[in-house]
Amino acid sequence: MKKLFIPALLAALIAGCSSTPPAETGGAPVESRSGTDVAKVTAGNVDGSGLPAVLTDPKSILSKRSIYFDLDKYDVKDEYKDLVAAHAKFLTANRGFKVLLQGNTDERGSREYNLSLGQKRADAVKKSLILLGAKEEQVESVSLGKEKPSCTESSEDCWAKNRRADILYKGPTGAGEF
C-alpha cells in the first residue's frame, strides 16, 4: 500500500504545482507605418550588383551607407538619424534583405580597444535599425577595428573618415555586397 501511496502523492504534488501563464491582454500600442514612402523592391528595378537601384542611385538617401562618429564615441549623431531611419524603413518594407554593419575606427589606440569600439559603433546602428522596425535576423554587426581604413593619412581629417559604421546589403537571392 505504501508503494502506491508515495507515487500517487508525488503525482498530485506535481499536478498541483503546475500552472499556466496568464493570457496576454492587449499590450503596448504600436505605431502605424502605413504612410511610408519606401516601396517594395521587385525584380525589374535591380542594377548590375544585384541590388535594387534605390540602394545604388546617388540621388537616393539609401545610397549613403556610412555613419560617422566622434573620437572615442559610439552614439549615432543627430545628423545621421534620418539616414538610419531611411535604411530601417527600407528593411521594414523589404524583409528579404539583410545588412551587415561594419564598425570601424581610426588608427589610434590598441587593437583590442579599437575592436571593442568598432563593435559598439556597429551595435549602436543595429539597435537604432531594430528600434525603427528592422527585424533582428535582418541585421548583423561586426567590428573591423582599424583594419579597413578608408583613408590612410595621419591627419584629423583622415581619422574622421575612418571613425564610421558601414552598411552593406545582401538581397533575398544572395546578391549584394557581403
- Amino acid making up residue 78: D
How far is 166 from 143, CA to CA, in rounded Å? 10
- Residue 3 maps to a domain: no
Helix (H) or strand (E) holding 126: helix 111-131
**Per-residue pLDDT, 32:** 44
Q: Among candidates 138, 154, 68, 130, which has minimal Cα distance to 103?
A: 68
Over residues 147-169, the pLDDT tens digits come to: 999 999 999 999 999 999 999 99
In a domain, 21, yes or no: no
Overall domain count for the chain: 1
d(CA 41, CA 97): 10
- 66-124 pLDDT, tens digit each: 999 999 999 999 999 999 999 999 999 999 999 999 999 999 999 999 999 999 999 99
27 part of a folded domain: no
CATH number, domain containing residue 145:
3.30.1330.60
Count of C-beta atoms within a 10 Å radius of residue 61 = 14
> Does any domain span residue 154?
yes
Across the range 18-27, mean pLDDT stands at 51
- Rg, the chain, Cα only: 24
Which of 128, 126, 127 is closest to 141 using CA atoms? 126
Range of the structural domain that residue 166 is part of? 46-170
